[in-house]
Structure 1
């Protein structure tokens, strides 16, 4: 039987350019899609083998109805020991819900660009990052940040400008990834152009980013590892 994944879309458009919900389906999962940004949530968490939380233009600290609902859902899912993975805002709201709302803050400047993210010692034995060696290459773009110092948080990867790029909650199957391993090389070129104005405002050179567009194949192993975990219940 296929593992059942709850996919929460937190963006202005339900499906991001990465179409990760479709990819999870192609990896053998039964995906239940809800557009959380538009106030859509499941009536119950019963029967779910995993939860994915997408990015968003919002901050996890904002006083927005769907954000409050998502905080509550995360707390319930953690109590039920349902595996969870959040990317970008998804990582931030996981940290906010499970480690405290002061765990997420607005940066003074944006971190944007392709980076090699050095791995910590803990990454070598982690279920999601154990395939990676020394560092992981991916695109990062964020104005909010998850603090690295918390007793319930194990940092798995860092950057030169952000001490918490990938983290795990306690020993639970719950992870946050600040960057964007989901975006392919071809998708990245389109994404950068579509967001040219916002990215340039955040300090990026779009033509340079397009030239650096990368498949981030090694980073994507974290996504397939999560899919396998959900599949295996």
Structure 2
């Protein structure tokens, strides 16, 4: 059974999405480490893939676990270990592999369900190749990964963020700014759990609950990642 290193960067090791459990359901042995609490594996030997979760932190912050995670990402890239990051996970991948100036604090929050235009590059991407012209998912971020680095291949964008989904040009690393991991049934729980912060960021939480979406096309990227690890 192939092994996945799951790095939890949030205030809790497991989020409402329980994506670590889903990776196990897709046939992977998942080793969970709570990076937020400075828990990391001794080394990367034996790992076939790495997942990096979201976090309320910024990838540019001088925090011990964030600095340590930067080093781990670079080591994994040197070993060609596939990596997938969501939200903060995408940002820290961009920071570690393309430079800390790639991530910046936005002047306003982008929040809500959006149909993201998909680029031509997605057609040849192993994780995004099944997408059509657009892919729908919930986005919520105050930080952003710049889209102008030569090692970044942009797979999807939005009207307010040119880098919503990307992959690294040479390393097997993918970043998703939005939240495809949230299911339709989990969405109301997640929205209520974060109501105060979402309202502060300009979100219509009741509206989000009413339009909760399964975002099935976006989830293809998650299952493709699990399949790629299982196959390689």
TM over 0.5: yes
Does residue 191 of structure 1 match 2:185?
A: no
TM-score w.r.t. the length of structure 1 is 0.99
> Could you list the per-position Cα deviations for residues 88-136 of structure 1 after superposition, in whole angstroms to 9, with x for gaps in the alignment?
0000000000000000000000000000000000001100100110010
TM-superposed CA distance for 1:75, in Å, is 0.4
Does residue 230 of structure 1 match 2:206?
A: no
> Could you list the per-position Cα deviations for residues 201-228 of structure 1 after superposition, in whole angstroms to 9, with x for gaps in the alignment?
0000111010110000111000000000
The whole-number CA distance in structure 2 between the counterparts of 1:193 and 1:51 is 29
The whole-number CA distance in structure 1 between the counterparts of 2:12 and 2:114 is 26
The whole-number CA distance in structure 2 between the counterparts of 1:5 and 1:154 is 24
The whole-number CA distance in structure 1 between the counterparts of 2:89 and 2:195 is 23
Q: SS where residue 186 of structure 2 aligns?
A: helix
Name the counterpart of 1:117.
116
Name the counterpart of 1:12.
11
Unaligned ranges ≥5, structure 2: none
Runs of at least 4 residues of structure 1 off by over 3 A? none
TM-score w.r.t. the length of structure 2 is 0.99
The answer (yes or no) to whether the contact 2:117–2:158 under 8 Å persists in 1 is: yes
Name the counterpart of 1:126.
125
Does residue 50 of structure 1 match 2:49?
A: yes
Does residue 167 of structure 1 match 2:166?
A: yes
Please show how residues 117-156 of structure 1 align to structure 2 within 5 Å.
117-156=116-155
Q: SS where residue 46 of structure 1 aligns?
A: coil
Q: SS where residue 111 of structure 1 aligns?
A: strand
TM-superposed CA distance for 1:3, in Å, is 1.3
The whole-number CA distance in structure 1 between the counterparts of 2:178 and 2:27 is 24
Unaligned ranges ≥5, structure 1: none
Q: SS where residue 144 of structure 1 aligns?
A: strand
